């Protein structure tokens, strides 16, 4: 039976509550959670998925509740409706836990206490439950007229905690600093709180809070005193700052620095499902999102696709001559292999990236002989120990690639040099993938 969409202008608060209660059983698939994921990306992925499986166009409607979208299409001669409710990452977990959501969209990893809630039914940290659908860079935004172009993470913490209150303290104009921040339900806020504020800083109480990334960015772009943060897809008319961590160089978020997660405020965007035994509609959407067509839509939406591309990096003055010589005849793929924190095994994203590298070689007529793996380590007590760790990491990726049909890839280690984060940052421990230039 066809379902109708309530009109936004006629939905009172009482009726909205009734609509929400009805939605628990009204839709064939429900995605709840992150506004970063749900505002644009999730509807695009759902539309692409439905168009791939159906011949009729996808119709977008509203529930009458802000930040909610319903996508409707006919799939296999069956009317299908999918709800995307984008009210914040924490709301998605609650909806998944209550059984209302089929998929939890999140702009942060699952928290230990959240994963513990599901232990009897699924391991949300396992590959069959945790799906990295895109890479995002947490964008630090200022007004286009602001002369400041880069900033350290520590300075950001001082600004957003109210310790620095005027732009003149940073060699900028004599103006009070106005703070713009996401709300407490947002995964973007959780990421900012973790990566910038940490345990050292607390958000200043004068900060304006937002549920929407786009609205926050628009308001910053109209305020010469403003500074805020959003997902990379919501930069819009604001100015984007380069960010540094520790002694590492400041990096702008771009295709390479974000896809490789070298950018200090890069983050993964997730969809979580309760295990692999899930409805076929949910499983199909996840497969589509992780595949090449889904990742092409990720790029179209303004986020960073996980489909590898080869780029020639721009080295700064800090890049050693030995590294320039090592990579002189290579381009770099926009993928880094990283490891589960505190472990030597590849993390969930890296396991899928093995297949993506294999597909890149096949589609571009290249072979394993064209690749070079370069391992890196965080600073160690002894240089020789760092060199050994970096080589072992590269070797472990070489062996994993061999298992997916990419044998005998050349590899080396570069020790504790060329860090992309401060001392102790897990981002320093990585394996870069380079491919011979043509």
Local mean pLDDT, 10-residue blocks, the chain (438 residues): 39 40 70 94 96 82 95 89 96 96 96 94 95 94 97 97 98 97 90 93 97 96 97 93 92 92 94 94 96 95 94 90 97 92 79 96 97 94 93 96 97 94 88 97
Pair (14, 128) in one structural domain: yes
pLDDT of amino acid 21: 42
| Residue 354, both tokens | 């093995």
**What is the β-pairing status of strands 310-311 and 410-413?**
unpaired
Q: Is residue 250 assigned to a domain?
A: no
Nearest to 304 by CA among 264, 347, 256: 256
List helix spans (H) across 109-264.
Answer: 112-117, 153-160, 187-192, 213-221, 255-259
Pair (324, 427) in one structural domain: yes
Q: Is residue 260 assigned to a domain?
A: no
Q: Could you write out the DSSP letters of every residue in 414-427?
A: -TT-S-SSSTT-GG
Pair (45, 193) in one structural domain: no
Q: Is residue 252 assigned to a domain?
A: no
DSSP symbol at 90? H
Q: Is residue 258 assigned to a domain?
A: no
List helix spans (H) across 135-221.
Answer: 153-160, 187-192, 213-221
Nearest to 227 by CA among 304, 138, 302, 107: 138
Pair (223, 293) in one structural domain: no
Q: How many structural domains comprise the chain?
A: 3
Nearest to 234 by CA among 224, 223, 244, 219: 219
CA 404 to chain centre: 25
| Residue 263, both tokens | 């950018």
C-alpha distances (whole Å) from 345 to each of 103, 176, 184, 399 are 27, 48, 33, 11
C-alpha distances (whole Å) from 279 to each of 274, 309, 407, 408 are 11, 33, 36, 39
Pair (291, 378) in one structural domain: no
CATH value at residue 118: 3.40.190.10
pLDDT of amino acid 109: 95
Q: Is residue 423 assigned to a domain?
A: yes
Pair (50, 73) in one structural domain: yes
Pair (101, 195) in one structural domain: no
174 in helix, strand or coil? coil
- In whole angstroms, give the CA distance from residue 292 to residue 4: 33
- In whole angstroms, give the CA distance from residue 421 to residue 130: 25
Pair (222, 146) in one structural domain: yes
* Residue 166 CB coordination number (10 Å): 13
Q: Is residue 119 assigned to a domain?
A: yes
- In whole angstroms, give the CA distance from residue 23 to residue 15: 12
pLDDT of amino acid 310: 97
Pair (345, 373) in one structural domain: yes
Cβ pair 160, 208 in contact under 8 A: no
| Residue 261, both tokens | 């997660």
* Residue 362 CB coordination number (10 Å): 12
Pair (332, 277) in one structural domain: no
In 78-177, beta strands by DSSP E? 78-85, 103-106, 130-137, 139-142, 150-152
Q: Torsion over CA of 138, 144, 150 and 153, rounded to 10 degrees?
A: -40
- In whole angstroms, give the CA distance from residue 31 to residue 153: 33
- In whole angstroms, give the CA distance from residue 287 to residue 277: 14
Pair (71, 39) in one structural domain: yes
Containing structural domain, residue 160: 139-244
Cβ pair 48, 68 in contact under 8 A: no
| Residue 124, both tokens | 């949300």
353 in helix, strand or coil? helix
Cβ pair 407, 230 in contact under 8 A: no
**What is the β-pairing status of strands 29-33 and 78-85?**
parallel
Q: Is residue 361 assigned to a domain?
A: yes
pLDDT of amino acid 19: 42
DSSP symbol at 195? I
Pair (288, 324) in one structural domain: no
Q: Is residue 259 assigned to a domain?
A: no
């Amino acid at each position: 039976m066809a379902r109708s969409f309530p009109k936004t202008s006629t939905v009172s608060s009482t009726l909205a509550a009734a609509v929400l209660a009805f939605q628990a059983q009204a839709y064939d698939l429900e995605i709840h959670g992150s506004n970063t994921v749900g505002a644009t990306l999730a509807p695009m992925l759902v539309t692409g998925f439905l168009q791939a499986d159906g011949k009729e166009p996808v119709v977008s409607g509203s529930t009458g509740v802000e930040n909610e979208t319903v996508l409707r299409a006919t799939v296999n001669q069956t009317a299908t409706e999918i709800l995307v409710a984008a009210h914040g990452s924490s709301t998605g977990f609650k909806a998944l836990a209550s059984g209302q959501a089929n998929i939890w969209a999140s702009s942060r990893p699952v928290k230990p206490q959240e994963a513990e809630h599901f232990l009897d039914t699924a391991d949300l940290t396992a590959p069959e439950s945790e799906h990295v659908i895109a890479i995002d860079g947490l964008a630090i935004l200022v007004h286009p007229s602001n002369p400041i172009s880069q900033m350290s993470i520590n300075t950001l913490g001082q600004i957003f905690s109210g310790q620095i209150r005027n732009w003149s303290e940073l060699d900028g104009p004599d103006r009070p600093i106005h703070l713009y921040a996401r709300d407490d339900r947002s995964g973007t806020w959780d990421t900012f709180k973790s990566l910038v504020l940490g345990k050292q800083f607390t958000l200043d109480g004068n900060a304006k809070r937002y549920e929407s990334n786009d609205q926050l960015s628009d308001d910053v772009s109209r305020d010469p005193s403003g500074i805020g943060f959003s997902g990379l897809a919501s930069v819009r008319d604001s100015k984007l700052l380069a960010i540094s961590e520790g002694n590492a160089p400041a990096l702008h978020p771009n295709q390479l620095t974000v896809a490789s997660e070298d950018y200090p405020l890069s983050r993964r965007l997730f969809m979580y499902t309760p295990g692999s035994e899930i409805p076929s509609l949910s499983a199909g959407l996840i497969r589509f999102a992780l595949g090449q067509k889904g990742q092409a839509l990720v790029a179209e939406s303004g986020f960073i696709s996980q489909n590898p591309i080869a780029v020639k990096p721009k080295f700064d003055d800090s890049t050693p001559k030995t590294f320039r010589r090592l990579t002189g005849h290579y381009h770099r793929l926009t993928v880094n292999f990283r490891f589960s924190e505190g472990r030597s095994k590849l993390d969930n994203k890296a396991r899928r990236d093995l297949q993506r590298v294999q597909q890149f070689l096949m589609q571009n007529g290249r072979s394993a002989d064209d690749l070079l793996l370069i391992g890196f380590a965080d600073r160690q007590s002894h240089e020789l120990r760092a060199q050994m760790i970096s080589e072992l990491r590269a070797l472990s990726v070489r062996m994993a690639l061999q298992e997916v049909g990419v044998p005998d890839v050349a590899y080396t280690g570069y020790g504790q040099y060329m860090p992309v984060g401060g001392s102790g940052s897990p981002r320093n421990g990585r394996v870069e993938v380079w491919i011979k230039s043509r």
